[in-house]
Amino acid sequence: MKRILAIACVALSACGVGTSGTCSTDSTLTWESFGQSFMTTNCTSCHGATNASDGVSLTSVALVRAHLNKVDSEVASGAMPPRGSTALTTQQKTDLANWLACGAP
């Protein structure tokens, strides 16, 4: 079963392609359990619906998916969140990278 899920994940080209994380077939990270609160806490003050800097809004799972690789690369490089924002723990960065590698379910 895990092999089928892994193959499906690769076939959908959303698992790990261009991301710094690894998609685990038994991941429990979802928009509801992780992504929404992460984005609200760390991203939407600048990347919100009405005030999206550089035109990137991260207020919904669909919008995060549309910018998946950019979000991953900006956080992985340390460019985001900008200095002065809430510091991210190593675990938060790992969880984000892995959630994005799974296609932000």
66, exposed or middle or buried, with CB in 10 Å at 0-12, 13-18, 19+? middle
Position 4 scores a pLDDT of: 40
User: Higher model confidence: residue 60 or residue 13?
Assistant: 60
d(CA 105, CA 101): 10
Q: Is the pTM of this model over 0.85?
A: no
Mean pLDDT (the chain, rounded): 81
Closest by Cα among 43, 76, 82 to 60: 43
Give residue 98's pLDDT band: very low, low, confident or very high (50, 70, 90).
very high
Q: Would you list the domain boundaries of the chain?
A: 2-101
- The predicted pLDDT at position 59 comes to 94
Q: Do residues 80 and 58 touch, judged by C-beta distance below 8 A?
A: no
Asked whether the beta carbons of 57 and 11 are under 8 A apart, the reply is: no
pLDDT in tens, 31-47: 999 999 999 999 988 89
